[in-house]
Amino acid sequence: MSVTRRTGWFLAAASVVATVAYGFACAPASKQAAGTIGAADAASKVYVAPGQKDEFYAFLSGGFSGQVGVYGLPSGRLLKIVPVFSQFPENGYGYSEETKPMLETSFGNIPWDDLHHTALSQTNGEDDGRWLFVNANNTPRIGRVNLATFETEEILQIPNSGGNHGSPFITSNTEYTIASTRFSLPIPQADVPIADYKKAFKGTISFVKASEPGKMDVAFQLLVPGYDYDLARAGKGPSKDWMFFTSYNSEQAYEKLEVNASKADKDFIAAVNWKSLEACATAGKGELWPANYAHNVMDEFTRVATTEFKKQVRVLTPASCPNSIYFLPTPKSPHGADVDPSGEYIVAGGKLATVIPVHSFAKIQKAIADKAFETAVDGIPVLKYDAILAGEVKDPGLGPLHTEFDGKGYAYTSLFISSEVVKWKLGTWEIVDRAPTYYSIGHLMIPGGATTKPSGKYLVAMNKITKDRYLPTGPELAQSAQLYDISGEKMKLLLDFPTVGEPHYANAILASKVQAIQKKFYSIADNKHPMATKSEPETGVSRSGKVVHVRMTAIRSHFSPDNIEGVQVGDTVLFHITNLEQDWDIPHGFAIQGATNAELLIMPGETRTLKWVPKALGVYPMYCTDFCSALHQEMQGYVRVSPVGSSVPLMANTVKAQGQAARAEKFKH
Ligand SMILES: [Cu+2]
């Protein structure tokens, strides 16, 4: 479905609702609140002694930072920030010429997005530690982070979507990662009055092929009624061919949603049989619609990202693929839809509901077979609530949002308004414990809590309000997560830890699964970057019109060349720097005075390019920004910039540009 290829330079609810919005609970900050244990006991449970390592990697979405924070659990220590949808000056992501295409979209190069949810790749319903998928909310996209390198290697834009909130949840063998549109839109986009919402606006649910790196693609989209689609989960076990999507605004309001989208007693979970849709798509059902969406891939060997614009997408409708989607009535403005480890129970978090409804997959199947339909919406059968209900958790608290599972028969639901986690028993629906959060929890996460094999040891609460938990830092306070011990009967609060950006969802995985696959450096022999320089004699400078290419190497503790002359004001200077090190954790950095982008951080064996356009004559220092050796401070050099038309020859150290080709040839090995 690809047509054009773009490359870089070298290749390139009235009162209730008001309570939701403003009425977060302010629990008293007592010395030892309910649900906590003695400080010494708590400390010993999160203490990771010097030289010891954490048991879990936790990947917390960075919200409006557009990045992912990687933390160790139980310590809560920040290990790394992985930039995905935002530029990151710390390592040059989105600034270097090789990584700029990663942020390319049909709207142009976008330096920021809002990253909400994470999903680890799965094999047979278990986290396998290969990849982390993340969503961009504002400009709909899904990114893939390789957990061998902790780098973003692929980003796919999602067409026909506005607000990619229900994403990137994943099927149990990583067949598909999904994307549902929060905002319904005229699809395809059109100039229509907003008041025509009910008639002209639609939602989409997209299934993105995820199993092969570098080959993400929208396999098919399902056109659905113009509601707001919120969150989703794949089934597992008996329900593994299904995906469950919450929706709200079945009222189809387009103004003052806080009132107008909160009127109906029930909205819907859309139960979608993706196997059935897949069969329809394979059979050529539906239509191919014109589209324009970017697919950005970082090549494994050149380490250069390229952008391909895809021009078509297969669109299915409920009518073109019958028996593939059903609506499950669910009270009230549901937010989370979570599936228990057995795959039988689908738990909804109705933001405005007074119960936590739990649907039964077996009953859903029976209701479909029996045609126990209440009605139909746009040809989509609405199943009878009583026919599919497994049970309701009564009086859970206010504002149930999300549920995770411990694999021991219990579920844990976050309650935003009453600011707590409730623990309840699957099957009997009785509440067995409550623990306050500080404050106003959104998502919660148990390592493996969304899989068939949760680790019932810890629970992380990701809170929306911090208030008095940390030293104040001006008008914006630290973002906050909290760690609970859930290994016993009662939840115990162990630790507060601040996070980078606003954490929405997160995943955590046993560290051993990710440690085992770590890449220590990129092989210099395998470096296929077109401007790679694999030895110092091959370094040098060359001019092509107003463009000066500098082929440079970095190794402890010098750049080669370290003196460049003959650059002129207004030239575009491209520093292609290859890090010749072949050892773990020896990146070199590169910065030059007056560069208007970022530094570069170049991993061992990798080539990265910084673009610099000097605006005034003079001599400009450059240096390594990453402390690399005892003589790191000596790792420096100069670039002389002369006026336009100057007779100063282009030289790398004392070697003139013209002599370099022959020199490089002589030393080539
Ligand atoms: Cu260095």
Residues above pLDDT 90, as percent of the chain:
89
- How close is the Cα of 601 to the center of ligand 1, in Å? 10
**How far is Cα 415 from Cα 400, in angstroms, rounded to an integer?**
4
- For residue 20, name the pLDDT band (cuts at 50, 70, 90): very low
Residue 249, judged by CB atoms within 10 A of its CB (0-12, 13-18, 19+), counts as buried
- For residue 661, name the pLDDT band (cuts at 50, 70, 90): low
- For residue 659, name the pLDDT band (cuts at 50, 70, 90): low
- How close is the Cα of 98 to the center of ligand 1, in Å? 20
Q: What is the average pLDDT across 269-275?
A: 98
- How close is the Cα of 99 to the center of ligand 1, in Å? 21
Question: Tell me, what's the pLDDT at 322?
Answer: 95
Question: Tell me, what's the pLDDT at 298?
Answer: 98
Q: What is the average pLDDT across 346-370?
A: 95
Question: Tell me, what's the pLDDT at 48?
Answer: 97
Question: Tell me, what's the pLDDT at 93?
Answer: 98
DSSP state of 538: G
Question: Tell me, what's the pLDDT at 31?
Answer: 46
Token match 């409006």: residue?
Answer: 64
- How close is the Cα of 100 to the center of ligand 1, in Å? 23
- How close is the Cα of 622 to the center of ligand 1, in Å? 12
Q: What HEC string does 169-228 produce?
A: CECCCCCEEEEECCECEECCCCCCCHHHHHHHEEEEEEEEECCCCCCCEEEEEEEECCCE
- How close is the Cα of 541 to the center of ligand 1, in Å? 21
Query: Over the stretch 513-565, which tens digit does the pLDDT of each residue have?
Result: 999 999 999 999 999 999 999 999 999 999 999 999 999 999 999 999 999 99
- How close is the Cα of 193 to the center of ligand 1, in Å? 58
- Sequence-distant (6+) residues with CB within 8 A of 437 are 414, 419, 420, 421, 461, 463, 482
- For residue 262, name the pLDDT band (cuts at 50, 70, 90): confident
Question: Tell me, what's the pLDDT at 351?
Answer: 83
- How close is the Cα of 539 to the center of ligand 1, in Å? 17
- How close is the Cα of 606 to the center of ligand 1, in Å? 14
Question: Tell me, what's the pLDDT at 14?
Answer: 35
Question: Tell me, what's the pLDDT at 655?
Answer: 83
- How close is the Cα of 50 to the center of ligand 1, in Å? 27
Which pair of structure tokens corresponds to residue 195?
């008041």
Read off the pTM.
Answer: 0.93
pLDDT at residue 35 above 80? no
- For residue 29, name the pLDDT band (cuts at 50, 70, 90): very low
- For residue 584, name the pLDDT band (cuts at 50, 70, 90): very high
**How far is Cα 229 from Cα 204, in angstroms, rounded to an integer?**
9
Output the CA angle 611-613-614, nearest 5 degrees.
135
- How close is the Cα of 628 to the center of ligand 1, in Å? 4
Question: Tell me, what's the pLDDT at 261?
Answer: 87
Question: Tell me, what's the pLDDT at 6?
Answer: 44
- How close is the Cα of 184 to the center of ligand 1, in Å? 50
- How close is the Cα of 635 to the center of ligand 1, in Å? 6
Query: Over the stretch 422-432, which tens digit does the pLDDT of each residue have?
Result: 999 999 999 99
- How close is the Cα of 591 to the center of ligand 1, in Å? 11
Question: Tell me, what's the pLDDT at 390?
Answer: 98
Query: Over the stretch 618-639, which tens digit does the pLDDT of each residue have?
Result: 999 999 999 999 999 999 999 9
CB 140 within 8 Å of CB 183: no
- How close is the Cα of 619 to the center of ligand 1, in Å? 21
Window from 32-41, 522-531, 645-654 with minimum mean pLDDT: 32-41
- How close is the Cα of 85 to the center of ligand 1, in Å? 28
- For residue 37, name the pLDDT band (cuts at 50, 70, 90): confident
Half-sphere exposure of 447 (CA within 13 A, CB side): 24
pLDDT at residue 667 above 70? no
- How close is the Cα of 92 to the center of ligand 1, in Å? 15
Q: What is the average pLDDT across 15-39?
A: 48
The string of DSSP letters for 308-362 reads EEEEEEEEE-TTTSTTSEEEEEEESSEEEEEE-TTS-EEEEEETT-SEEEEEEHH
The string of DSSP letters for 56-98 reads EEEEEE-BTT-EEEEEEETT--EEEEEESSS-BTTTTBTTSTT
Residues above pLDDT 70, as percent of the chain:
93
pLDDT at residue 211 above 80? yes
Query: Over the stretch 71-110, which tens digit does the pLDDT of each residue have?
Result: 999 999 999 999 999 999 999 999 999 999 999 999 999 9
Token match 């092969």: residue?
Answer: 212
Q: What is the average pLDDT across 261-270?
A: 91
- How close is the Cα of 60 to the center of ligand 1, in Å? 31
CB 432 within 8 Å of CB 367: no
Question: Tell me, what's the pLDDT at 27?
Answer: 42
- How close is the Cα of 43 to the center of ligand 1, in Å? 38
Q: How far is CA 480 from CA 340, 467, 668, in A?
A: 27, 10, 54
In sequence order, the β-bridge partners of residue 639 are 564, 620
Q: What is the average pLDDT across 21-40?
A: 53
- How close is the Cα of 496 to the center of ligand 1, in Å? 36
- How close is the Cα of 2 to the center of ligand 1, in Å? 41
Question: Tell me, what's the pLDDT at 36?
Answer: 58
pLDDT at residue 353 above 90? no
Element (H, E) at 41: helix 39-46
- How close is the Cα of 70 to the center of ligand 1, in Å? 25
- How close is the Cα of 537 to the center of ligand 1, in Å? 19
- For residue 231, name the pLDDT band (cuts at 50, 70, 90): very high
Question: Tell me, what's the pLDDT at 668?
Answer: 43
Question: Tell me, what's the pLDDT at 87?
Answer: 98
- For residue 660, name the pLDDT band (cuts at 50, 70, 90): low
- How close is the Cα of 145 to the center of ligand 1, in Å? 26
Window from 251-265, 273-287, 364-378, 469-483 with minimum mean pLDDT: 251-265
Question: Tell me, what's the pLDDT at 625?
Answer: 96
Q: What is the average pLDDT across 341-367?
A: 95
Average pLDDT, whole number, for the chain? 93
For residue 633, give the 3-state DSSP assignment. Answer: helix
- For residue 657, name the pLDDT band (cuts at 50, 70, 90): confident
- How close is the Cα of 516 to the center of ligand 1, in Å? 28
Token match 């986690």: residue?
Answer: 421
Query: Over the stretch 161-188, which tens digit does the pLDDT of each residue have?
Result: 999 999 999 999 999 999 999 999 999 9
Taking the alpha carbons at both ends of the chain, their separation in whole angstroms is 41
Question: Tell me, what's the pLDDT at 1?
Answer: 40
Q: What is the average pLDDT across 568-579?
A: 98
